[in-house]
């Protein structure tokens, strides 16, 4: 699809809409950049197998998340022909606690049978059926209420097709620079012989087909291969559409508009200034997908909050509630002016937050220097206590204002550092309350 995308981009840009909205990047989810703790009883793993589809054996591989509880599960469908495997994205989704099933359509990359667009649609539906089969739900610890179908390029079309055909089984859909096969202008504007030669290198890994056969199939089934109509249908449930401005992102713009026209509140659209393979935006792509997937996990707070630098103090913010005794906190230090307590989602065990009890400053720009001095004096004491209680070789201090700030009450992070271990400024998983309580007791005992 790389050659096809390049050619299509040139045509689309000739009819391009006004400049796409500027991208604003929220925080990177931790699963993009850090491995989760090992679960010795139920470790992460993978299983390879074949799925029988109309007498042909297609190859499947499922990445299994750690843990013994049922996992949300993603089906990921590759493009045409599938040179960009997106394995890094699938691994990030697995690190976030999801199973991920990938398949190779009939006639592609060693799967049996002959490749065609119609066969690929049926194969994608069969993969959803595989995930909802009771035996597989039990074997792979699948949560059948949280199955998401995703795809890149042609796989985006196949994901939409499978989601529409198996709507009762699919909770949401992800389309990544999706190819609207039926509306691809090259099939109507280019000489078929010229188009066939453009497509020929991409059909090398595909068995039982030819560029001429696929061009003829599009001519016969253009209405069935219309992704705009499918986008309206799948938008009955949550949909994420991600476009590549140097790929075929203009198609994504049209698809998202059609979906929002049908269902205004279910569609999230993002555009990235990259190519069709997201070659220089892999971290951004993974982050976008994981942030969106968080909606299917009630234990995860949606990421990307930004605190305006100028606004009135919000008396309902979590730290204000802690100070009023309306929310609990694992305290390590308190006096008349300052409170220090454990971060509930620590970057490292021993991660402490220090806040003012008397100031209602939201950011460092609003805080009186005298109040700030009191806070920083306690920060110093907490750092010294962490070193003593935990045997640290170092610690770091972080104080966010606006971007990266999650609570609109000035707070300073005091975070243990482990020699040789990178520090990832990403979202962190909530800690076990028992661990927080025990860690608070250790640091509190070392406070001087």
Which residues are identified as catalytic? 411
Beta-bridge mates of residue 417: 394
- Residues 311 and 363: their CA atoms lie apart, in Å, by 10
Angle between helices 211-220 and 192-199 (to 10 degrees): 120
Q: What is the DSSP annotation of 163-226?
A: HHHTTTT-SEEEEES---GGG-THHHHS-HHHHHHHHGGGGTTBSS--HHHHHHHHHHSTTTT-
Q: How far is CA 254 from CA 190, 408, 417, in A?
A: 22, 37, 47
Q: How far is CA 93 from CA 169, 282, 317, 355, 380, in A?
A: 20, 13, 31, 34, 38
Q: How far is CA 266 from CA 178, 292, 428, in A?
A: 18, 11, 26
Q: Provide the terminal-to-terminal Cα distance of the chain, rounded to the nearest Å.
A: 64
Which two structure tokens, joined as six digits, stand for 180?
């609207």
Q: What is the DSSP annotation of 373-394?
A: HHHHHHHHHHHHHHHHHHT-SE
Q: Left (φ > 0), alpha (ψ -120 to 50) or beta: where does 184 sit?
A: beta
- Residues 444 and 207: their CA atoms lie apart, in Å, by 67
Cis previous bond, 81, omega within 30 = yes
Q: How far is CA 437 from CA 219, 349, 434, in A?
A: 66, 11, 5
Q: Which residues contact 282 (CB under 8 A, 6 or more apart)?
A: 88, 89
Query: Token pair 């994608």 is at which residue?
Result: 124
- Residues 418 and 395: their CA atoms lie apart, in Å, by 8
Secondary structure (3-state) at 259: helix
């Amino acid at each position: 699809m790389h050659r096809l995308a390049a050619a299509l981009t040139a045509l689309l840009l000739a009819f391009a809409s006004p400049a796409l909205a500027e991208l604003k990047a929220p925080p990177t989810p931790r699963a993009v950049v850090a491995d989760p703790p090992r679960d010795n009883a139920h470790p992460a793993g993978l299983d390879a197998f074949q799925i029988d589809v109309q007498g042909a054996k297609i190859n499947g591989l499922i990445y299994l998340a750690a843990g013994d509880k049922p996992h949300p599960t993603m089906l990921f469908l590759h493009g045409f022909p599938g040179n960009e495997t997106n394995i890094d994205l699938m691994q990030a989704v697995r690190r976030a606690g999801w199973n991920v099933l990938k398949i190779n359509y009939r006639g592609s990359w060693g799967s049996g049978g002959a490749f065609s667009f119609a066969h690929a649609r049926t194969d994608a539906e069969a993969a959803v059926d595989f995930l909802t089969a009771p035996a597989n739900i039990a074997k792979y610890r699948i949560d059948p209420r949280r199955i998401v179908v995703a795809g890149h390029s042609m796989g985006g079309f196949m994901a939409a097709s499978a989601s529409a055909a198996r709507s009762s089984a699919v909770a949401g859909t992800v389309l990544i620079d999706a190819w609207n096969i039926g509306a691809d202008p090259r099939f109507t504007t280019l000489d078929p012989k010229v188009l066939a030669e453009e497509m020929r290198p991409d059909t090398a890994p595909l068995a039982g087909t030819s560029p001429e056969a696929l061009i003829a199939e599009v001519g016969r089934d253009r209405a069935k291969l219309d992704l705009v109509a499918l986008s309206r249908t799948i938008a009955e449930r949550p949909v994420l559409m991600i476009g590549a401005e140097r790929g075929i992102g203009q198609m994504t713009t049209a698809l998202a508009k059609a979906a929002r026209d049908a269902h205004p509140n279910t569609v999230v659209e993002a555009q990235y200034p990259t190519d069709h393979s997201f070659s220089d935006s892999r971290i951004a792509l993974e982050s976008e997908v994981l942030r969106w997937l968080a909606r299917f996990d009630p234990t995860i707070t949606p990421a990307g909050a930004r605190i305006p630098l100028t606004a009135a103090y919000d008396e309902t913010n979590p730290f204000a509630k802690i100070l009023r005794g309306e929310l609990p906190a694992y305290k390590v230090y308190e006096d008349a002016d300052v409170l220090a307590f454990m971060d509930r989602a620590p970057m490292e065990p021993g991660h402490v937050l220090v806040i003012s009890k008397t100031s209602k400053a939201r950011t460092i720009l609003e805080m009186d220097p005298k109040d700030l001095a009191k806070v920083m004096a306690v920060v110093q004491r907490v750092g010294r206590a962490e070193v003593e209680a935990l045997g640290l070789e170092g610690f770091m201090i972080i104080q966010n204002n606006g971007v990266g700030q999650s609570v609109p009450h000035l707070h300073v992070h005091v975070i243990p550092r482990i020699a040789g271990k990178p520090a990832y400024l990403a979202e962190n998983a909530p800690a076990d309350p028992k661990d927080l309580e025990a860690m608070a007791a250790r640091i509190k005992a070392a406070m001087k």
